[in-house]
């Protein structure tokens, strides 16, 4: 969770600070093996054109991709990826979807190409 208030996170500078904080937090709290899996998935997400990518698990390797679902069958460990299309993300947020709200509030946002997640907040 970011130290910034949500209202501060919504400005362009605030969102960039949030992304930097989240990247540092993910780096600090993951084991080297977990960081390696996260790096692979982040690369795959960006290569597939994902609008966003977040680490959502506190101890598990749980991720939220804003875009197409990633094939994680060849990765070690218990990796769980939830995919949501960019257009559907806002709808799910407004419907009160717990996972989307968790992602935005407590997840580590590691990639947000189109400021997709700030548009939803």
Residue ranges covered by each domain of the chain: 6-120
User: Can you tell me the distance from the alpha carbon of 70 to that of 55, in angstroms, rounded to the nearest whole number?
Assistant: 14
pLDDT of res. 70: 85
- 6-120: CATH topology is Beta Polymerase; domain 2 (3.30.460)
pLDDT of res. 118: 56
pLDDT of res. 64: 93
φ and ψ at residue 59, rounded to 5 degrees: -130, -20
pLDDT of res. 87: 83
pLDDT of res. 73: 85
Taking a C-beta distance cutoff of 8 angstroms, is the pair 34, 61 a contact? yes
User: Can you tell me the distance from the alpha carbon of 19 to that of 97, in angstroms, rounded to the nearest whole number?
Assistant: 22
Ranges of the chain with pLDDT below 50: none
pLDDT of res. 75: 82
Which run of H or E residues covers position 115? none
Taking a C-beta distance cutoff of 8 angstroms, is the pair 109, 56 a contact? no
3-state secondary structure of 108: strand
The pTM score is 0.84
Write the CA distances from 105 to 71, 72, 77, integer angstroms.
26, 25, 26
pLDDT of res. 36: 92
Residue in the structure block whose two tokens are 């992304």: 19
């Amino acid at each position: 969770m970011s130290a910034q208030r949500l209202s501060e996170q919504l400005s362009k500078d605030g969102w960039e600070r949030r992304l930097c904080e989240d990247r540092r937090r993910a780096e600090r709290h993951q084991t080297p093996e977990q960081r390696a899996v996260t790096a692979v998935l982040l690369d795959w997400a960006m290569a597939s054109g994902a609008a966003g990518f977040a680490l959502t698990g506190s101890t598990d390797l749980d991720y939220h991709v804003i875009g197409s679902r990633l094939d994680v069958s060849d990765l070690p460990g218990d990796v769980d990826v939830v995919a949501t299309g960019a257009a559907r993300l806002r709808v799910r947020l407004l419907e009160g979807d717990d996972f989307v709200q968790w992602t935005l509030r407590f997840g580590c946002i590691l990639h947000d190409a189109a400021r997709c997640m700030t548009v939803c907040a």
